[in-house]
Amino acid sequence: MTRRAFLSSGAAIAASSMLSRALSAQAIAGDSVVSESKLAADPMRPQFHLLPARNWMNDPNGPIYLNGRYHMFFQYNPLAATWGDMSWNHAVSNDMLHWSHLPIALTPTPGTPDSFGCFSGSALQVDQRVYVIYTGTKESTSDLATIRDGKDNVQESQCLAWSDDPNLVIWTKDPQPVVPLPPEGIKITGFRDPSAWKQGEWYYLTVGAGIAKVGGCVLLYRSKDLKSWEYLHQLTSGSWNGIHTENPCDDGEMWECPELFALDGGHLLIYSTLGKVFWQSGVLDERTMKFSASKTGLLDLDAFYAPKTQLDAQGRRILWGWIQERRPEAAMREAGWSGMMSLPRVLNLDKDGTLRIQVLPQTAALRAGVVPHQESRSGTQKILRNASGEVICSGPRSKSFEFTLSTGSSELLHVRYFAESHTFVADGENIALEPNDEPTLHAFVDGSVIELIVSERIGYTKRFYYTGSTAPDIQAHTNESEVKMDAWKIAPISHNRLTTPARNG
């Protein structure tokens, strides 16, 4: 089930009415079917990625650095391990690696613009107050609906909430949406995922949208006070692929989770559509507030979607993404959990506008010892015990090589570097490198996920599943002795895989 798949209308409304703003993680724990002991013993639950104690999670929302701590909000279903009853869960960290769970921040309020769900959004600090602008959803009439899935008519509007609490635990919602309707005269295919920033004397807001049979687009608004918003124009747009699907995000007719930000002397736009996350680098004309792209690419090849960024304490641009499941709903319900947050990735632009991506260097603090070197008949091998560890592989530019991750009998990942074309091929996907790039691979394995960064140019996030009560050992192998491969054990960030609040490191 995707982030925009819906429950049947009757079930959704019944579940929403059960929720109250006083919901807490402690109260929810007693209502779930899967026991805490089963969750803690599940070998496929990650040990060093952020995820809630139980149930479904998806998009990162409003990550923000405040008073020396990192706050992460994310889409969350308090009642099940599948999509529904969208709320904002909340975690906090000192280092973006070790997390503590806090009470749920936002839940649907019956009879209000967010009665069907509190969808994705962003956070913005103004003096000592933090505002979040998010998409509220409610069942409505067909003429006002912005999501029409054949079962429900759901109206999306952009809503505002704020907190004066230094811990961001207590929130107040504005009872009325600040952007209640999309612009007039547009046959909209969606209207959600606002992202706000301050520029000069104005606040600006992007909203993901699309025009029927035309393509996805980003709508731009401005305001002086975060409450009264003026629509300006389409910041940028794309093209529909002409193949109609039930979900317009699957065919490019809708763009989700757009975000525009300044980066290394230029601007970067990210957005999600066609089941992937795209980036465009270019120039924002601050006079016309139009964005002109000069380069584009993918952020990740597979199970990574709906990302959000923030600035950290050092002013670096940090990217977070939702790591999706690749298993049936029945398996999610049986496990009692679904989804996780990616590791933090640092974004930069080269002088020519090409995106550079690396995992936060501070993740080295999670290393808990070197994995011993093992010679094999055809290269070098490292064994990552219990499907957990980190591998860095680097080869000479003049030599082609292969890198694999496997359980021995089952290959999980196969990457080849072709020296002649200076290109990687990861599970059949071509990745052309820039002329000055070094052929490097940086991989993390955690329970049932692989996060790979290829030559600091693109991510490849992949899920893998298995049977049994223990996680398999993973063999990392290169076929060339000239290729340098280092590997480390990774320390868990919680003694029981985050089923209770992690001790904040």
Catalytic residues: 59
DSSP bridge pairs for 210: 216
Paired sense of beta strands 290-298 and 388-394, if any: unpaired
The answer to whether the CB of 183 falls within 8 A of the CB of 158 is no
3-class state of residue 20 by DSSP = coil
Token pair of 441 as six digits: 């691979």
Alpha-carbon distance of 278 to 259, in angstroms, equals 11
Nearby residues of 184 by Cβ (< 8 Å), 6 or more positions away: none
The answer to whether the CB of 79 falls within 8 A of the CB of 18 is yes
Token pair of 134 as six digits: 């998010």
Residue 271: CA count within 13 A, CB half-sphere:
30
DSSP string, 332-395: HHHHTEE-EEPPPEEEEE-TTS-EEEEE-GGGGGGEEEEPPPEEETTEEEEEEGGGEEEEEEE-
3-class state of residue 117 by DSSP = strand
Closest listed residue to residue 95, CA positions, set 76, 72, 75: 72
C-alpha separations of 66 from 127, 128, 195, 225, 505 in Å:
11, 9, 18, 21, 17
Alpha-carbon distance of 65 to 68, in angstroms, equals 7
Alpha-carbon distance of 409 to 322, in angstroms, equals 29
Q: What are phi and psi of 421, to 5 degrees?
A: -100, 0
DSSP bridge pairs for 404: 414, 477
Count other Cβ atoms within 10 Å, centred on residue 134.
29
Nearby residues of 287 by Cβ (< 8 Å), 6 or more positions away: none
CA angle (114 as vertex; 113, 120 as ends), nearest 5: 125
The answer to whether the CB of 219 falls within 8 A of the CB of 186 is no
